[in-house]
Amino acid sequence: MTTGAGLEIHRLLDAAFAGIDMTPETQDLKEEMRANLVARVAEFTDSGVGPAEAARRAIDELGDVRSVVDETATAFATVPAWVRHRVRPRPAYVVRTVVVSLMAAGALAVAALPFFGVDMALALPLAAVAVLAVACGAIVADALRQETTTSYPLPARRAGGFGVATALTLAGVGTGLLCLRGLPLGWLVGAVAAVVVAIVVFAQLGATHTNRHKPWVVRMHAEHERAGDRFSEDPAAAARFGLYTATIWLAAFAAFAVLSFTVGWAWSWLALVGAVVVMMVTLARMLFGTRQTA
């Protein structure tokens, strides 16, 4: 495709999308259309059509762009967000995780043998603890380096930090437990030091943590926060709910007392259960029901 045809496609496509709200989904649709237009223009130019005419024909074949956008938005609205943005694990990652997990499971079995009365030199379970710690640290670091449906991958350095901290924690705990089975107490000092270093690393990583959620997850969280923010936005609703709650529980305690002296303790507790149900229904209606305007 010539440069002139490419520029004409970009110009015509931008003109077709003029005035349309560019949501992330609409932008993805526009880029998909652009790729299809490039392929279609190449077919036209190969058959001898001029670049500008080929671009116009390809755009004309699209039809009404706004109707296509509306249809796409309607289709997206019927599909859950996590399905639209789903990221499948890479096969290589799955294979690595399975292999390393099997290694970790074998190392854990060997490390646990002294606690089941198996007589062996403690060097073997100590080596198994080291293998277990390294394997689990590798699994954690590798998992954090993967893009998921809800989150972007962590940078290699931060993911590695979490992996190292995990390995130090398991190595320290495992070595400390082996000290209970006869490992020299000198190893206990190293175990405690490893755990302390791991805590410091975890604390540092947690203190410098930043958001890695994808935009659609952030938008979903914001929508949920707005849905549950009724009482802070409407103090009168909060006051009404407080009065309703006090009334419900006063009535419940009165019913509890009456039922206790009439039908007995076996049934009086139902008054309290009923109060909880009524209060939760009232809360749901006030939070998510139709909001009244003054």
- Given a contact cutoff of 8 angstroms between Cβ atoms, the answer to whether 256 and 272 are in contact is yes
Taking the chain (294 residues) in runs of 10, the rounded mean pLDDT of each run is: 67 81 77 82 83 83 78 62 72 95 96 88 93 97 91 91 96 93 88 94 88 76 60 76 89 88 82 89 74 46
Backbone angles phi, psi at 151, to 5 degrees: -135, 150
> What are the residues whose beta carbons fall under 8 Å from the beta carbon of 279, sequence distance 6 or more?
244, 245, 248, 249
**What are the tokens at 137?**
């640290």
Between the CA of residue 126 and those of 129, 130, 135, 136, 259, what are the distances in Å?
5, 6, 14, 16, 65
Between the CA of residue 210 and those of 155, 158, 195, what are the distances in Å?
11, 11, 24
Q: How far apart are CA 133 and CA 169, in angstroms?
A: 8
Q: Does residue 176 sit in helix, strand or coil?
A: helix
In this structure, the answer to whether residues 65 and 14 fall within a common structural domain is yes
What domain range includes position 43? 3-78
Residue with tokens 């490419």: 6
**What are the tokens at 283?**
């809360």
In a domain, 224, yes or no: no
In this structure, the answer to whether residues 95 and 203 fall within a common structural domain is yes
Per-residue model confidence (pLDDT) at position 293? 44
> What are the residues whose beta carbons fall under 8 Å from the beta carbon of 182, sequence distance 6 or more?
114, 122
In this structure, the answer to whether residues 95 and 182 fall within a common structural domain is yes
In this structure, the answer to whether residues 234 and 258 fall within a common structural domain is yes
241 closest CA partner among 287, 291, 289 = 287
- Given a contact cutoff of 8 angstroms between Cβ atoms, the answer to whether 176 and 190 are in contact is no
In this structure, the answer to whether residues 66 and 116 fall within a common structural domain is no
Per-residue model confidence (pLDDT) at position 4? 63
Per-residue model confidence (pLDDT) at position 176? 92
Per-residue model confidence (pLDDT) at position 240? 85
In this structure, the answer to whether residues 208 and 235 fall within a common structural domain is no
In a domain, 293, yes or no: no
In a domain, 150, yes or no: yes
Please tell me the total count of domains within the chain. Answer: 3
**What are the tokens at 205?**
């990583």
**What are the tokens at 95?**
């294979």
In a domain, 194, yes or no: yes
In a domain, 246, yes or no: yes
Residue ending a domain, choose from 78, 109, 133: 78
In this structure, the answer to whether residues 99 and 210 fall within a common structural domain is yes
Per-residue model confidence (pLDDT) at position 109? 95
Per-residue model confidence (pLDDT) at position 3? 61
In a domain, 294, yes or no: no
In this structure, the answer to whether residues 12 and 53 fall within a common structural domain is yes
Per-residue model confidence (pLDDT) at position 242? 85
Residue ending a domain, choose from 155, 180, 214: 214
In this structure, the answer to whether residues 138 and 187 fall within a common structural domain is yes
Q: How far apart are CA 204 and CA 206, in angstroms?
A: 5
In a domain, 84, yes or no: no
Cα of 165 vs its chain's centroid, Å? 22
Q: How many CA atoms within 13 Å lie on the side-chain side of 27?
A: 3
In this structure, the answer to whether residues 37 and 139 fall within a common structural domain is no
Residue ending a domain, choose from 78, 107, 134: 78
In a domain, 154, yes or no: yes
Model pTM score: 0.55
Residue with tokens 């509890």: 256
Per-residue model confidence (pLDDT) at position 290? 55
**What are the tokens at 63?**
């039809």
Q: How far apart are CA 165 and CA 203, in angstroms?
A: 10
In this structure, the answer to whether residues 103 and 178 fall within a common structural domain is yes
In this structure, the answer to whether residues 273 and 201 fall within a common structural domain is no
